[in-house]
Amino acid sequence: MKKKFLFFAFLFSGILFASPFDFSIKIPSVSVRNDFSYSIVNNAKFSGFYPSSRISLDFDTLNFNLGYQLVNQNSDFTIQAAYGPKILDIMKLQLAFTYNFLNSLTFSENNFVFGFVFSVKPKDIFKFSMNTSFLLKDSIIKFTNFHIPNFSYEFGLYFDWALSKAFETFFHIETASFFNHYLFCSLIFSTGLKYNIIKEFSLGGTISATYIDFFTVSPYHSEVSVNTFIQFNIN
C-alpha cells in the first residue's frame, strides 16, 4: 500500500513540480513492413491469401503510419497520425487521428477515428499501450448512392515485450485494427513473434482471431488469420 502511494506521489510530484513534458520532435526512424496473410476461418471480407504494406515514421512525439491492403476485390487505404508529449521519459499521451478508406465492388466506406493513445514503457523490455477513440463511419452503397452514417467507439490494449535483443513478442486486444473498423463491440485478439535478424531487418509472424459481438451474444469467432511479415528499419 505504502509502495503504491509512493509510486503515485512520485508520478504526480513529477507532473506538478518538474518539467515532465517533452514535445520535441526527433530525427525520424522509418520502417517499411510487408505482410502476407492467410485467412483460416473466413468471414464476408477475408478469405485466402492477401497482402498489405505499411510505412511508419517515428519522430518520437509525432508518428505517422500509411498503409494499403488488398483482399480479394477490396482495397483498404489507411493513414494515421498521432502527436503528444513524452511524460517523465517513460510515458506518452498522444492525440491520434486515423482515416481509412475501403473500396469494394458494391460499396465504399470512409472511417474517421479520433482519440487518444497512452503508452508507458517503464523498462526497455516491456511496453503497454491503450487507445480509446470515437469512430465516424460513412458507408456508401453504390447501387443507389445511399449513405449510411454510424457513430461508434473503439478501444485497444497492447502489451509488447522484448524477450531479447533479437526476439520481440506481443499480445493485443482491440475492437478495430489498422485496416478494419467494426462497430462496437467486436474484438480482435492477436499475438505474434518478431525476430530482428539485424538492426535493419526483421521477420515475424502473427495469429489473430476476430470475435463478433462480445456485448450481447456468446462470442462467435468470425475470422482467424495467420500472417508472416518482413520489416525494414532505417534509423
Partner 1 sequence: MKNKKKILINIIFLITFTLFNSCKYGSDNLFYTGASVNERTKDGITFLEDNPVQEKLKYNVLIFSDTHFGVKTKTPPYQKLYEYLDKIKETSDYPAFAIALGDLTDTSSTEEFEQYDDFIQTLENKYNLKTYNIIGNHDCYLSGWDNWKKYCSPHTSFYKFETSNFSYYFLDTGTGTIGKNQLNHLKKVMQKDSKPKIICSHYPLYTSTLLFCLSDTYERNELISLFQKSKAKIVLSGHIHRNETTNLGNFFQQTITSFTYYHEFGILKIDEKNSKVEFEKVDLK
CB of 206 to partner 1, least distance (A): 20
What whole-number distance in Å separates Cα of residue 44 and Cα of residue 165? 39
- Considering the complex, state which of residue 47 and residue 129 has its C-beta at the smaller distance from partner 1: 47
Pairing of strands 74-83, 62-71: antiparallel
Give 174's strand partners.
Answer: 156, 188
DSSP string over 129-180: EEEEEEEEEEEEETTTTEEEEEEEEEEEEEEEEE-SSSEEEEEEEESB-SS-
Q: Of residues 30, 99, 142, 234, which one binds partner 1 by CB under 8 A?
A: 142
| Binding track over 155-194 against partner 1, x by CB under 8 A | ------------------x-------xxxxxxx-------
- Considering the complex, state which of residue 57 and residue 136 has its C-beta at the smaller distance from partner 1: 136
- Considering the complex, state which of residue 65 and residue 175 has its C-beta at the smaller distance from partner 1: 175
- Considering the complex, state which of residue 30 and residue 70 has its C-beta at the smaller distance from partner 1: 70
Q: Which residues of 197-213 are buried (b: 16+ CB within 10 A; e: fewer)?
A: eeeeebebebebbbbeb
CB of 177 to partner 1, least distance (A): 13
Interaction of residue 217 with partner 1, rule CB under 8 A: yes
**Residue 196 and residue 235 in contact, taking contact as beta carbons nearer than 8 Å:** no
Which spans of this chain sit near partner 1 (rule: CB under 8 A)?
Answer: 42-45, 47, 74, 102, 104, 106-107, 109, 137, 139, 141-144, 146, 148, 150-153, 173, 181-187, 211-222
